[in-house]
Amino acid sequence: MGDNQEKNVDNSRRTWLIATSVVGGVGGVATLVPFVSSMEPSERAKAGGAPVEADISGLKPGDKMTVSWRGLPVWIVRRTPDEMASLSADTSQLADPDSKHPFNYPMPSYCENPYRARVEHKDLLVVIGICTHLGCIPSGPFEADIVPALGNFPGFFCPCHGSTYDMSGRVFKNKPAPKNLDVPRYMYLSDTHLVIGKDEKGEA
């Protein structure tokens, strides 16, 4: 794939690939040095985990795209109104509804809300898509009443041992996974671009 980054956009009903070139090195964007290659993710960026920029202009309600950051799949999900409504409907079945016990990355303070998202685009979920049980990649998002293990909640399902997460990546009670999906630091560069691994305080 070279330095081009392929982003996988899918939802529970349809899957397609958008092969697009993402200018991943934020440093390259900021400095605008005169070498085109410097505007693409460098080997150092890939290995060291430099921030990665994502173009979300094509992301429609119900869509999910995956961006690689530090070798981890980071999901960006544009939630539907129904999925948003599900987040505050009933939190009694969640193990850690307020995300007080993060997994590997501290919860960014600006995401300490039921949406686990920045308020300027609270419909957009940004989480690390790795199950906190043994590291499988969950499937989804699924609408309500499609996956029996999720019942009438929309969310994500880990096929390895059955853990389920709501549409904010919060794990349900009595599942093998002990923690919610991690939220990385991120910030918006515009309404159509965000950067993962960096916020107003600097790089993660």
Residues that bind ligand FES (CB under 6 A): 131, 133-136, 158, 160-163, 176-177
| Buried/exposed code over 36-53 (b: 16+ C-beta within 10 A; e: otherwise) | eeebbbbeebbeeebbbb
Q: How far apart are CA 116 and CA 125, in angstroms?
A: 7
Which of 200, 194, 196 is CA-nearest to residue 59? 194
Pick the closer one to ligand FES by CB: 136 or 144: 136
In whole angstroms, how close is the CB of 134 to ligand FES at the nearest point?
4
What 3-state DSSP class applies to 124? strand
Pick the closer one to ligand FES by CB: 78 or 133: 133
Which of 17, 15, 166, 185 is CA-nearest to residue 111? 185
Catalytic, 161? Answer yes
Pick the closer one to ligand FES by CB: 102 or 176: 176
Q: Of the listed 101, 133, 161, 193, which one is catalytic?
A: 161
In whole angstroms, how close is the CB of 35 to ligand FES at the nearest point?
42
In whole angstroms, how close is the CB of 24 to ligand FES at the nearest point?
28
Q: Which residues are catalytic?
A: 161
